[in-house]
Amino acid sequence: MFPGGHCFAAAVTAPRRSNRVPVKPMQTEQVGTTVSGRGPHSIPSTSTLIAFESAAHHGNFSRAAMDLCTSQSAISRHLARLETELGARLFKRSRTGVRLTEAGMRFRDAVAVGLGALRAGAADAATLSGEARPEVAIACADETSHLFLMPHYQAIREALGEHVRVRIQVHSPSMGHFPPRPLADVVLAWDAGISTPGDRVVVAREALRPFCSPSYAVEHAEALSGPVSGWGGQTFLAFAGPGEGAASWKRWFAASGRPTKRPRYEEFDVYTYALEAAVAGRGLVLGWRHLIGRYVESGVLVTLGGGFVETARCFTAALTPEGRQRPLARACLGYFHGIM
């Protein structure tokens, strides 16, 4: 069950969006087999992993069922059995939908690795069979893939042509900085220095401001409506990973003022985890103007402070040495020019 036309070619693949080509229908009756083999190395079936991936993306079992052309009860059975097999609670259920637990978020990333490898293998098999299609490979950090690239994914395909395969190579923050020669045509990164000015465009200039959930804003309205010096009792959600481009409270405090009391931080290894913690009402999170849009538009996060604080850093799209030789890569670079 692989979405047609969407090839994710790296070890980690970006979260799926609703504008992708639907997967083949899941058979409602075929929910009995959820684990391939038994014992210490048993793994869930592909259909179960796809059901989990879709539910994690949509935050709603009904939407996942519509996405996969099956019933909500089939999705529920898949996921209930998955939680039993793993011995872990993956979702927090509520009247409005579901939200991933900490274990669920970690398993989501592991599933992305596995399904990404399967999708890449399917694409490679098709290529070896003589059915190769023109393609463009884009490398980026995982938060960029999830928060920026995927919302533009369909528009990129339309700009390049529906016949072009867009491969996304996601760079995990645990891997540190980008390798000096990523196997891609275009790299999205902060101040990417791998290309000459003619082969690089500025996508957005860095602009940061704090956000929190509506409920957190109401609960702490008195302090948050005042100057930053009075925010000392708040919880500041921080990205502690080694990935490039981390949203820094230090930079924001330097421009907006510091709390009188020493800030209390809760650190996360992955930036999207910090965002999900903010959505859950656990504290304040910094958001980039070019990445935070869908969280604000959906109403799960609200803005704080006096506005965005701009820095000298730039978020760029750059051609790799391989990409400079390919017209499709230059067309892709052209798409990113002036996008914001």
DSSP string, 286-297: EEETTTSHHHHH
Fold (topology level) of 205-312: D-Maltodextrin-Binding Protein; domain 2 (3.40.190)
Q: Which residues contact 281 (CB under 8 A, 6 or more apart)?
A: 212, 213, 215, 216, 219
Residue with tokens 């993956």: 90
Q: Which CATH number fits domain 1-130: 1.10.10.10, 3.40.50.2300, 3.40.50.1240, 1.10.579.10?
A: 1.10.10.10
For residue 124, which of 3, 4, 7 has the smallest C-alpha distance? 7
- CB contact at 8 A, 276 and 100: yes
For residue 119, which of 24, 12, 8, 17 has the smallest C-alpha distance? 8
E strand or H helix at 159, and its extent? Answer: helix 153-160
Write out residues in the chain with pLDDT < 50, as ranges. 1-38, 173-181, 242-244
Domain residue spans of the chain: 1-130, 205-312
Beta strands 284-288 and 97-100 are unpaired
**How many angstroms separate the Cα of 58 from the Cα of each of 18, 64, 91, 165?**
8, 6, 12, 24
| Rounded-to-integer distance, Cα 170 and Cα 10, Å | 6
| Rounded-to-integer distance, Cα 73 and Cα 238, Å | 38
**What ranges make up the beta strands (E) of the chain?**
35-36, 43-44, 91-94, 97-100, 135-141, 165-171, 186-190, 200-212, 235-239, 264-268, 284-288, 302-303, 309-319
Give the torsion through C-alpha atoms of 292, 296, 301, 305, to 10 deg.
Answer: 80
Q: Which two tokens stand for residue 158?
A: 């339309």
The β-bridge partners of 339 are none
Q: Give the pLDDT confidence score for residue 93 in this predicted structure.
A: 85
Count how many residues are written for the chain: 340
Beta strands 284-288 and 200-212 are antiparallel
Q: What is the pLDDT of residues 99-133, one digit of tens each?
A: 899 999 999 888 888 887 777 676 666 656 555 57
Distinct helix (H) and strand (E) counts, the chain: 12, 13
Beta strands 264-268 and 235-239 are parallel
Q: What is the pLDDT of residues 46-100, one digit of tens each?
A: 889 988 988 888 888 887 877 776 788 888 889 999 999 999 999 998 877 788 9
CB atoms within 10 A of CB 127: 14
- CB contact at 8 A, 198 and 290: no
DSSP 3-state of 164: coil
Q: Which two tokens stand for residue 189?
A: 């990164």
Q: Give the pLDDT confidence score for residue 124 in this predicted structure.
A: 65
Q: Which residues contact 296 (CB under 8 A, 6 or more apart)?
A: 211, 302, 303
For residue 2, which of 127, 157, 115 has the smallest C-alpha distance? 115
| Rounded-to-integer distance, Cα 209 and Cα 145, Å | 21
E strand or H helix at 50, and its extent? Answer: helix 46-58
DSSP 8-state class, residue 245: T
